[in-house]
Amino acid sequence: MPYLRVISLTTLTMIAFAGNSVLCRVALKETAIDAASFTSIRLISGALMLWLIVSLFRSGQEGKGNWASALALFAYAAMFSFAYINLSAAMGALLLFGAVQVTMIGVGLWRGEWLHWPQWTGLTLALLGLVYLLSPGLTAPPVGSSVLMLAAGVAWGIYSLRGKGGGDPTRVTAGNFLRSVVFALLLGLLFMEGSHLDGAGVGYAIASGAITSGLGYALWYYVLPELRAATAATVQLSVPVITAIGGVLLLSESISLRLVLASLAILGGIALVILGKAQRAGPEVPRT
């Protein structure tokens, strides 16, 4: 694949991933849709889009997903939506990304993977950044929403680790999305009395599911073989930054000094871990 095309598709994919946060925050802040309905519509739309993609372009590949991964996917999507009721787009994206990476690094340590001192420094820096971000103060994010987003990140980290080696990643993702529809429908029934829908909110949810999730993941798996492991991991450091820019432009969100300093610590620390791992055997690449 031509180098310029790889760069263009990778950039488009990162914008799509950042778009999930922006679309969810816009929908919950500017429209009447509720978090449960947004989650359900997002997962159903993503499942339909991915089913269409694998039916047309990946029919000769193997991979079908499983119920445990589908549950992790649903847990991520649900907690992600409910967290964004009160979190800014940038704050939510940073918490999510930090939790995903720390989860994957932690699982690696639990499995016996060893880090060298620059990586331990990076991990410590990232954890201190998260602590600082959540510490009490006027610009601190709401505790309940922050815990939900951190839990969403843990769920997504588990989902990413479970997806390694399961066959064609696009087909596996499609299978997991299709299975997650069952949980999405149950969530809709559980919150039926408090559900609120309007055209704009439904449109944002469909866009999040079909475009920034379904098409975004399919595009990522298409371009991923063209990227080195370190590049694939480090390029995702741009997602919280792109999200912050989107939040400023589309939601008039402010960027606090706390958020800037925490971002530098978290993203810089994770970069140290990723680059250190790449020098030896290549990093875990989260399928965000």
pLDDT single digits (tens) 64-77: 889 999 999 999 99
Decide if 78 is inside a domain: yes
- Show the tokens assigned to 77: 């999507």
Give the per-residue pLDDT at 277: 67
Is the CB of residue 150 less than 8 Å from the CB of residue 142? no
Range of the domain at 151: 3-278
What are the pLDDT digits (tens) for 207-264?
999 999 999 999 999 888 887 766 777 788 899 999 999 999 999 998 888 999 999 9
* Predicted confidence band of residue 149 (pLDDT cuts 50, 70, 90): very high
The answer to whether residue 284 sits within a structural domain is: no
Identify the pLDDT of residue 224.
Answer: 86
Q: Encoding tokens for residue 20?
A: 């999930």
Question: Does residue 86 lie in a domain region?
Answer: yes
Query: Above 60 in pLDDT, residue 150?
Result: yes
In whole angstroms, give the CA distance from residue 270 to residue 252: 28
Q: Tell me whether residue 283 is in a domain.
A: no
Both tokens assigned to 226? 């063209």
The answer as to whether 174 is a domain residue is: yes
Report the pLDDT value the prediction gives residue 49, as an integer from 0 to 100.
Answer: 97
Q: Report the domain count for the chain.
A: 1
